């Protein structure tokens, strides 16, 4: 078992990535070009998930990843097979895209051709999308002219994007018998501490979106754990978000199983769920705590906490969805609540840009990736199973951090509060922006 003294130091090679986006308003086209510093030997290496060492003498090449323009009718040029296809077909992990904006087809069709199998969204994503482009203005103008209030107009804008995205993933949903091809939309972050209101909001969203492959996102706050159970019991598929600790993750899985049992349905095959376990934010917080201690042995643990906890979460997932209780539900068609790795973008530029993807590859799981992480993995990621290669070392890191005074429950609680707060601020900021835009449209008219 690993100890503080014998844990390998992180040796991160420098790298860079960039994405340039251009838009022609008249033609509504979008292009994306990403360039990365690749390594010729990455295709041959076997990634050690927790030691994170790369050869110092790597030969670097510059490779370009080009997503060709597609027109509004979705007639994009076909693209070649990528590591995302291998991730799903060889390792059983579904790569999803953590972003959504207009024009939806132009954004998603190139990525679907590259192997993306689903989409996640959140209030922060929509805040950025709606505030930074004029693609929503015409619909918003019509909504304002109809007398709709600002918050209702917001939901109309969001629901249109979600429905448009769901259509693009329907084939994947059908091909996998409801196992994949989902698009996630979150209930209002203002309801994060309201049990019954969250249930009603989830029912409403599910009804108005009216797509078979929509996931209703519900935060894993203590108040919303019962909400998750009740929404599942109503036959609604759920993406449980903002999970930061092992005890809360176990509560989420229990809520899913309880909900399936409470549904009373004889066929459970169309009720599915994912549990979004956040990764990089854990390192961001714990690294700061380690830096305050500052000794060489302790600093060697930086960048390892998040992956270690995630590996233990996967072990917990395997244990929970087995045994007589679960098998009784399987006989009714129940599907496992797959663990979804969220917050996979690297926050610390000193870390490898695919750190939170390469190290957490395993079957029956999902990895949702923001732009830079997705493009980096396509460029130089390795689709090899890593999630359970070094379980004993993950356990050692987890315990070593506890001995240093890291309280994992407190870390999870702090990150949950911060995550809910970020989404609330994004939601409120967008409503203010829409209010201002509504006033400007009145002035213009």
Distance CA 407, CA 402 (A): 6
pLDDT at 39: 33
CB 9 within 8 A of CB 27: no
What are the pLDDT digits (tens) for 119-129?
999 999 999 99
Of 29, 190, 217, 304, which residue is the catalytic one? Answer: 217
Q: What angle do CA 238, 315, 291 make, to 5 degrees?
A: 95
Q: How confident is the model at residue 439 (pLDDT cuts 50, 70, 90)?
A: confident
Say whether pTM exceeds 0.85: no
What are the pLDDT digits (tens) for 208-237?
999 999 999 999 999 999 999 999 999 999
Q: How confident is the model at residue 139 (pLDDT cuts 50, 70, 90)?
A: very high
Distance CA 44, CA 37 (A): 17
> In which element (H, E) is residue 30 found?
strand 29-39
pLDDT at 391: 97
CB 161 within 8 A of CB 108: no
> HSE-up of 179 (CA within 13 Å, CB side)?
14
pLDDT at 367: 98
CB 114 within 8 A of CB 68: no
State mean pLDDT over 67-95. 71
289 is catalytic: no
Q: How confident is the model at residue 440 (pLDDT cuts 50, 70, 90)?
A: confident
Average pLDDT for the chain: 86
Distance CA 387, CA 408 (A): 20
Strand pairing partners for 370? none
What are the pLDDT digits (tens) for 380-398?
999 999 999 999 999 999 9
218: three-class secondary structure by DSSP? strand
Q: Is pLDDT of 262 > 50?
A: yes
Cross-sheet strand order for the sheet of 29-39: 17-24, 29-39, 60-67
Q: How confident is the model at residue 80 (pLDDT cuts 50, 70, 90)?
A: confident
Q: Is pLDDT of 42 > 50?
A: no
Q: Which tokens is 208 given?
A: 């108005």
State mean pLDDT over 1-21. 33
Q: Is pLDDT of 60 > 50?
A: no
Q: How confident is the model at residue 4 (pLDDT cuts 50, 70, 90)?
A: very low
Distance CA 145, CA 147 (A): 5
What are the pLDDT digits (tens) for 277-301?
999 999 999 999 999 999 999 999 9
Distance CA 418, CA 442 (A): 36
Domains of the chain: 17-444 (3.20.20.70)
């Amino acid at each position: 078992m690993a100890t503080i003294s014998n844990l390998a130091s992180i040796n991160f090679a420098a790298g860079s990535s960039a994405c340039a986006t251009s838009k022609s308003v008249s033609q509504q086209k979008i292009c994306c070009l990403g360039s990365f510093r690749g390594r010729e030997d990455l295709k041959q290496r076997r990634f050690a998930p927790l030691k994170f060492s790369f050869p110092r003498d790597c030969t670097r090449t510059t490779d370009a990843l080009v997503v060709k323009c597609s027109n509004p009718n979705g007639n994009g040029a076909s693209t070649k097979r990528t590591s995302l296809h291998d991730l799903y077909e060889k390792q059983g992990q579904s790569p999803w895209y953590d972003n959504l904006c207009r024009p939806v087809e132009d954004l998603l069709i190139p990525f679907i051709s590259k192997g993306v199998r689903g989409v996640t969204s959140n209030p922060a994503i929509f805040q950025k999308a709606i505030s930074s482009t004029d693609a929503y203005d015409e619909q918003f103008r019509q909504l304002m002219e109809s007398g709709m209030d600002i918050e209702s107009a917001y939901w109309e804008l969001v629901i249109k994007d979600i429905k448009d995205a769901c259509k693009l993933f329907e084939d994947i949903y059908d091909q996998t018998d409801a196992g994949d091809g989902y698009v996630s939309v979150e209930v209002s972050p203002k309801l994060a501490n309201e049990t019954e209101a969250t249930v009603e909001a989830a029912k409403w969203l599910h009804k108005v979106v009216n797509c078979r492959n929509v996931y209703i996102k519900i935060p894993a706050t203590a108040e919303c754990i019962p909400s998750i159970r009740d929404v599942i019991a109503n036959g609604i598929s759920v993406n449980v978000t903002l999970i930061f600790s092992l005890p809360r993750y176990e509560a989420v899985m229990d809520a899913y199983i309880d909900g399936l049992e409470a549904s009373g349905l004889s066929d459970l095959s169309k009720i599915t769920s994912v549990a979004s376990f956040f990764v990089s934010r854990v390192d961001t917080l714990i690294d700061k705590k380690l830096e305050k201690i500052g000794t060489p042995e302790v600093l060697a643990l930086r960048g390892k906490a998040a992956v270690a906890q995630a590996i233990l979460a996967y072990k917990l997932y395997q244990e929970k969805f087995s045994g007589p209780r679960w098998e009784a539900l399987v006989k009714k068609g129940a599907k496992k609540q797959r663990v979804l790795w969220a917050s996979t973008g690297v926050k610390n530029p000193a870390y490898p840009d695919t750190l939170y993807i390469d190290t957490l590859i395993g079957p029956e799981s999902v990895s949702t990736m923001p732009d830079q992480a997705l493009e980096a993995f396509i460029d130089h990621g390795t689709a090899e199973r890593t999630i359970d290669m070094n379980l004993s070392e993950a356990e050692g890191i987890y315990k070593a951090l506890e001995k240093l005074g890291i309280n994992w429950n407190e870390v999870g609680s702090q990150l949950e509060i911060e995550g809910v707060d970020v989404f609330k601020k994004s939601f409120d900021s967008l409503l203010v922006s829409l209010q201002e835009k509504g006033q400007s449209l009145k002035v213009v008219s």
